[in-house]
Amino acid sequence: MGAGHAWQRVCRVDDLQRSGAIEFNLDGTACFVISLNGLIAAYVNRCPHLGIELNWMPGRFFDLERTFIQCATHGALFTPDRGTCIAGPCQGDALSPLEWTLADGAVLVRMPV
Ligand code: FES
């Protein structure tokens, strides 16, 4: 079993729910986890079209209405549940999801197998 597939603890669920989004590093890859309108999802922090990180400000990933994940550079919008780009230069493309689970009040993530 590769170390890349081990579960990693990211944060407490309450902290995620309070802040909405938390950035972390998984095996050297910048990632983030979100809690938005009752949904939790985790993605690699990399836009599918330029390969750059989505946010400028730490932990800021949402559009003004807090409905979508937004690329701070281009305003592209991604659905929070699947990471699909619905507006912007990478429309039709999608963010790379991570697997996540909850254990003892904490959020754990790992790279998909
Ligand atoms: S880097 Fe792709 S939409 Fe901004």
Q: Is 90 a pocket residue for ligand 1 (Cβ < 6 Å)?
A: yes
For residue 5, the model assigns a pLDDT of 80
Look up residue 35 and give its two tokens: 């809690």
Total domain count, the chain = 1
For residue 110, the model assigns a pLDDT of 96
Pocket test for ligand 1, best of 45, 50, 56 (most atoms within 8 A of CB): 50
Distance CA 47, CA 92 (A): 12
The CATH number of the domain holding residue 93 is: 2.102.10.10
Q: What is the mean pLDDT of residues 30-39?
A: 96
84-106 pLDDT, tens digit per residue, is 999 999 999 999 999 999 999 99
Domain encompassing residue 73: 3-110
Please list, in sequence order, all residues whose beta carbon lies within 8 angstroms of the beta carbon of residue 106, skipping any fewer than 6 positions away: 9, 10, 11, 12, 13
